[in-house]
Chain A
Amino acid sequence: MTQKSSHDPNVTPMLPKASAATNTERESLAAEVRKLSFWYGETQALKEITLPIANRKVTALIGPSGCGKSTLLRSFNRMHDLYPGNRYGGEICLFPENHNIIDLDPFMVRLRIGMVFQKPNPFPKSIFENVAAGLRIQGVQNKKLLGDRVEQALRNAALWEEVKDRLSQSAYGLSGGQQQRLCIARALAPQPEILLLDEPTSALDPIATAKVEDLITEIRNRFTVIIVTHNMQQAARISDFTAYMHLGKLIEFAPTGELFTTPQEKLTRDYITGRFG
C-alpha cells in the first residue's frame, strides 16, 4: 500500500508538466524528495518518502496527526538540525542545481527556503523590522532596497494597506491574523525559492483564515509553496497538488482535484471521507 502508481518516480516528472501547461517555459520542478527517511532518535518518523514539488505551484501535505507531514515539511529547511539526536536518510534535491538539501549547510538552505509556523511568531520589534529581518540577516544595509522589499513583501502578503501608516509600531499590536500575514511577509521578503507553511491558519479565526488563503492563492504563481494542513477543504481550495501521508509513509500523491475526487488508495479515501483522522 505504500508505493503506488501516481507517485512512482518514473511517472512523477510528467505530473507537473501535465497540469502546468501555461508555464511551460519554467522549470517544472522546484525540488524533489527522493527516498527520504527521518529519525527522531530511535523513532522513525518518515519512511522513504518520494515526492516531486512542482515549481511555482502549491503542494499540500495532508494526513492524520502524527503522520509525519510537519516532519517532512521541516526537513526542507533543515529545522530538525536545531535539536540533537535527529537523523536524515535519502535526499531532497533542490533544483535547478540538483543539490541535496540534506548535504547543504543548513543556514544556506534557510536563506533560500522560507518558513511560516503554526502560531504567529513575530519578533518583539516594529512591523518594518519584522519584515526586514531576513534581509538584515543576509546583511542588506541599503535603506532604499530594504524599504522597497519590505513594501513589496507586505503587498504580497496583502497587509500593506492595513499597516502602511504604522510600520514603526510594534508587531504585537496587530491582530492574530495580521501577525500571521506579517510572518508570511517576513518569509517572503528575502524572496525564497520555496515557502513552507506549517498549518498557517490553525490558530486563526475563519475570516483571518480566508485572508491567508486568498494571499496564498495570490502568490501561487510566483512562489513555490508547500503547505501542511489539517483542513482538507483548505487543501482542496488552495493547492495544485496534494500528498496524503499516513504513519510516516506517503500513501498517495496526485493533482488536488484527482486526489479528492478519485482517490486510488483505500486509506486516502477513508481519510478524505472523514472515516478517521
Chain B
Amino acid sequence: MVKADVSQVSLPDLAGIVDANRRTDLVMAGIGISVLLIAMSLLAAVVIDLIVGGWPRLINPDFYLNFPSRHPLQAGIVSAWVGTILVMLVTAGIAIPLGVGAGVYLEEYAARNWITDFIEINVSNLAGVPSIIYGLLALGLFIHGFGLGETILTAGLVLALLILPVIIVSTREAIRGIPLDLREAAYGLGADKWQTVRLYVLPAARSGILTGTIVGLARAIGEAAPVITIGALTFIAFLPPSPLQASPPFINFEWLESPFTIMPIQMFNWVSRPQAEFHINAAAAGVILMVMTLAMNGVAIWLRYHLRRQVR
C-alpha cells in the first residue's frame, strides 16, 4: 500500500525533473553553440578578408621569391619568411632544452621551500609580462650589454625568453600528470631519480610537453614588438648566409650574426605605408603568417597523435 503510494506520487515528479534537466541541457548547448559561432565567424571574417584582400599577390609566385621593394607589385616576402624560419630555429633550440630542463628540475628535483615557491610565482608571472618589456630587456642586455647586435641570434634569444615560461609551466603540468604508480614502478625496481625521469616520466609526458612547446612557438612566430625593439630591419634586400653548405663541415653558423627581418615586421611595415597597393601585400603576408602558424600546430597534432599511438 505504501509502496504503491510512493510510485504514484514520485513517478510524475521524476519525469518532470528529467524534462527540466533536458531543457537546461538544451539551453546551455544553445548558448555554447552561439558563442562558438560568434567566435568562429569573427575568425572566418578576418581570414576571408585577408585572403580576398591579398589574393592578387598570393597567387603570384614572385611574391614568395622577391625581396621587398618600393614598387608594391614587385615586393616579396622572401627575406621575411626565411628570417622567420631562422629565428624560430634559434628560439626552439634555446627555449626547448632550457624550458624542459627547468620544468623537470622544478617538478622533480627542487626542494619544496620558499625559494622554490618564489621561483614558481615568478615563472608564472613572467608568462604575463608584455612582450615589449622583453624587447627592452634584450636591447639593454643582449645588444648593449653583450654586444650581440641586431642579429638573428638576438631575436631568437629574446623570443626564447618570451616563451620560456609557457614551456616551463606546460612541462611541469605534463610531468605532474604522469600517474604516481608509474614512478613507483620505476623506483621499486631500484631506479634513481634521473633514470626514472629519463626512461619513464619524460617519454610518457612528451606529448604534453610538445603541446606546450608548440603553443609557445606559435606565440613567438607572431610577435613583432620585441623584435622591433631590438632593431630588426624593415627593409632588407639580401638573405642571411645559408646554414647548409656544400663543403665540409656542411653547416655554418654565420647566419646567426646576420641582419634579418621577420614576417610580422614585414607585414607591419606594409600596413603602415600610405599606398593602398602595399595593403594588398600586407594582407597576403598575413595569410602566409597564419598558414605558418597553422602548419606548426598541425605538426604538433600529428606528432602528438603519433607519439600517443606509440605509447599505447
Contacts and interface: CB of A to CB of B under 8 A. Distances in A.
Given A121-B181, A124-B203, A124-B204, A133 B186 contact: yes
Give the interface size bracket for B toward A: 20 to 34
B112 A84 contact: yes
A117 B185 contact: yes
A255 interface: no
Given A124-B311, A137-B195, A172-B312, A186 B189 contact: yes
Interface in B181-232: 181-192, 195, 199-200, 203-204
A137 B311 contact: no
Give the interface size bracket for A toward B: 20 to 34
Contacts of A77: 188
Contact of B189 (A170, A172, A190): A190
Contact of B190 (A84, A134, A170): A134
Interface string A237-251: 000000000000000
Interface stretch (A53-61, A106-114, A141-149): A106-114
Contacts of B189: 110-111, 114, 133-134, 137, 186-187, 190
Given A137-B190, A137-B191, A187-B189, A117 B200 contact: no
Contacts of B190: 107-108, 110-111, 134, 137-138, 190
Contact of A79 (B182, B188, B311): B188
A123 B184 contact: no
Contacts of B311: 124, 170, 172
Contacts of A121: 179, 181-182, 184-185
**B interface: dominant SS:** helix
A172 to B, nearest CB: 5
A119 B180 CA distance: 11
Nearest to B179: A121
A61 to B, nearest CB: 17
A83 to B, nearest CB: 10
Given A123-B182, A124-B204, A170-B312, A187 B188 contact: yes
Nearest to A111: B190
A183 interface: yes
Contacts of B186: 123, 133, 137
A183 B189 CA distance: 11
A114 B182 contact: no
Nearest to B196: A137
A11 interface: no
A79 B187 contact: yes
A115 interface: yes
Contact of A117 (B184, B199, B203, B312): B184
Interface of A: 77, 79, 82, 84, 107-108, 110-111, 114-115, 117, 119, 121-124, 133-134, 136-138, 170, 172, 183, 186-187, 190
12 contacts: A82-B183, A107-B192, A114-B188, A121-B184, A122-B185, A124-B182, A133-B199, A137-B190, A170-B312, A172-B311, A183-B185, A186-B189
Interface of B: 112, 179, 181-192, 195, 199-200, 203-204, 311-312
Given A79-B188, A123-B186, 13 more contacts: A77-B188, A82-B184, A82-B187, A108-B190, A110-B189, A111-B189, A115-B184, A123-B200, A124-B203, A133-B186, A133-B199, A137-B191, A187-B188
Nearest 3 A-B pairs (CB), nearest first?
Answer: A111-B190, A110-B190, A134-B189
